[in-house]
Amino acid sequence: MAIENIKMPQLGESVTEGTIEKWLVQPGDHVNKYDPLAEVNTDKVTAEVPSSFTGTVKELIASEGETLAVGEIVCTIETEGGDAAPVEEAKPVSGDKAAEMPAAGSKPTSKLEGTEGSSQPVKPSGSKGRYSPAVLRLAQDNDIDLAQVEGSGNEGRITRKDLMKLIDSGNIPKAGDAKAAPAPQQEQPAPQAAPAQEAPKAPAAPIQSAPGDIEIPITGVRKAIAANMLKSKHEAPHAWMMIEVDVTNLVQYRDSIKGEFKKKEGFNITYFAFFVKAVSQALKEFPMMNSMWAGDKIIQKKDINISIAVASDSALFVPVIKNSDEKSVKGIGKEVNELALKARSGKLKSADMQGGTFTVNNTGSFGSVQSMGIINHPQAAIMQVESIVKRPVIMDNGMIAARDMVNLCLSLDHRVLDGLVCGQFLARVKEILENMSKENTSVY
């Protein structure tokens, strides 16, 4: 018999961790290769982790609600033949053995738990000595002493969920807090004001529900969305621009063909397909807009893959139209329709969510006329297409006319993009849209 490890897969291009939402198997269950083992949430997609082997589930290493980095072991499976040694790598290491005998192929525990820049090394206690990178990073960012945290995970492991509860409550255990408090009183008789200066701040009181309030549980998908939005706002310096576009000719053209198009193609031709086409064309001319921040460099992407926001009843998904610059208006419209149906029926796959390079959001479908989107990390920009409304406009000849106007709102990562290139890009999108008409535009 051999013990094989099942690891957290990478379910997206920029995905670095996933949360076990629900186990679909239990120890002792027989599974075939490709059978689903667990439901996993990331900031991009909810997906099932398939088995890579046929055999019997030996141990569930991660607990439900626990967040693990890509490549970390989530469970083990017993298969026929081979050596059973790998199972030892998957088990938590306790106490002194954690410092003396790191698992084969892994970094020594002392280095993993006392990373550079932290104020004090993290000292493991019992089964809690095996921390995931996500837990370590969260503890270091918030100066949490993991030795004082009680874990709710498998065999007492500390999970990301445990740390988030502490952070939300404000009652964060700090390394050396208990020892440091009495020291000033013993060593020097400080003035009366000194204790007040050194006393720790009172923890923030958790928000309590009042009678009649409705408490809505936070789903894994909502947590993932929140984490990604927070990461984007914290890391990317957002700037914002808006341009006004006269789409009267486009509206007339689309209205003149929509009935015949629906009868012929079987789906509605929407304004949004024209906007995605215009953005795709402009991205070819301004490739810097199709870039990403990569820490020590900027990566200008070759493919133009447009991310679009699609909402189901309970979550927001961001599927991708691949190589949108090579597609016609009809091709884009068909793909938007198919992706929306997949999202609402729960059939989106991880492949549908990967590879986006620029996001176009149809906020106008809700009647919005002006908004500021949060950039879809790690992309450099997101454009909001607002509602088309009729407004009085002073024409070049001085006459006032009712025109169909739309606002295009652009949020940009100022590390990658500057106002000049963004202004030129928006002006080009405006030019393309204002020249779309029955005479010079084809949907095919």
Q: Which of 69, 66, 30 is nearest to 51 (CA)?
A: 30
**Of the candidate ranges 140-149, 184-193, 315-324, 348-357, the one whose mean pLDDT is the lowest:** 184-193
* CA-to-CA dists, residue 98 to 75, 102, 129, angstroms: 20, 6, 7
Reading phi first (left if > 0) and then psi (alpha if -120 to 50, else beta), residue 363 is in: alpha
The crossing angle, in degrees rounded to 10, of helices 419-434 and 248-265 is 60
Summarised one tens digit per residue, pLDDT across range 256-266 is 999 999 999 99
Q: How confident is the model at residue 288 (pLDDT cuts 50, 70, 90)?
A: very high
The CA–CA distances, whole Å, from 213 to 43, 92, 207, 210, 218 equal: 28, 42, 12, 6, 15
Burial of residue 304, with CB atoms counted within 10 A of its CB: 0-12 exposed, 13-18 middle, 19 or more buried: buried
In one-letter notation, the amino acid at residue 293 is W
- Give all strands (DSSP E) within 93-135, no chain letters: none
The pLDDT value given to residue 185: 42
Is the CB of residue 359 less than 8 Å from the CB of residue 321?
Answer: no
CATH topology of domain 233-434: Chloramphenicol Acetyltransferase (3.30.559)
Residue-wise pLDDT tens digits, 125-163: 444 455 666 677 777 777 788 888 887 765 677 877 777
pLDDT at 428: 98
Say whether pLDDT at 321 is over 90: yes
Lowest mean pLDDT of 157-171, 233-247, 322-336, 343-357, name the range: 157-171
Distance CA 65, CA 365 (A): 34
Looking at residue 142, its pLDDT comes to: 77
For residue 98, the model assigns a pLDDT of: 36
Q: What is the pLDDT of residue 254?
A: 96
Q: What is the pLDDT of residue 42?
A: 77
Domain with CATH 3.30.559.10 in the chain: 233-434
At the second CATH level, the architecture of 2-90 is Beta Barrel (2.40)
Residues carrying CATH 2.40.50.100, the chain: 2-90
Q: Do you know the residue count of the chain? A: 444
Rounded Cα gap, residues 159 and 146, in angstroms: 11
| Residue ranges of E strands in 181-280 | 238-246
How far apart CA 74 and CA 69 sit, in angstroms, is 10
Smallest CA-to-CA distance from 413 within 437, 440, 377 is with: 377
pLDDT single digits (tens) 190-230:
445 444 454 555 556 678 888 989 988 877 767 777 787 88
Give Cβ neighbours of residue 61 (< 8 Å, ≥ 6 apart): 73, 74, 75, 76, 90, 154
Most confident option among 66-75, 85-94, 305-314, 419-428: 419-428
Residues 43-56, mean pLDDT to the nearest whole number: 82
User: Whole-structure pTM over 0.85, yes or no?
Assistant: no
Compute the CA torsion angle 110, 112, 117, 123 (nearest 10 deg).
-50
Mean pLDDT of the chain: 81
pLDDT greater at residue 193 or residue 165:
165
Q: What percent of the chain has pLDDT over 90?
A: 47
335, 320 contact by CB (below 8 A): no
Phi-psi region of 395 (alpha: psi -120 to 50; beta: other; left: phi over 0): beta
Structure-token pair, residue 69: 């980095």
Taking each helix axis from N to C end, the angle separating 419-434 and 271-285, rounded to the nearest 10 degrees, works out to 130
Inform me whether the pLDDT recorded for 307 exceeds 50.
yes
Predicted local distance difference test score (pLDDT) of residue 96:
41
For CA atoms 15, 19, 24, 27, the dihedral sign is positive
List the catalytic residues: 414, 418
Phi, psi values for residue 405, rounded to 5°: -120, 150
- The least confident of 96-100, 250-254, 400-404 is 96-100
State whether the Cα torsion 338-341-345-351 is positive or negative: positive
pLDDT in tens, 85-107: 443 333 333 334 333 344 333 44
pLDDT at 317: 85
Q: Are 157 and 151 in contact (CB under 8 A)?
A: yes
109 in Cβ contact with 91 (< 8 Å)? no
Coil, helix or strand at residue 166: helix
How many C-beta neighbours within 10 Å does residue 25 have?
Answer: 18
Helix-helix angle 248-265:271-285, to 10 degrees: 110
Q: Which of 2-6, 108-112, 230-234 has the lowest mean pLDDT?
A: 108-112
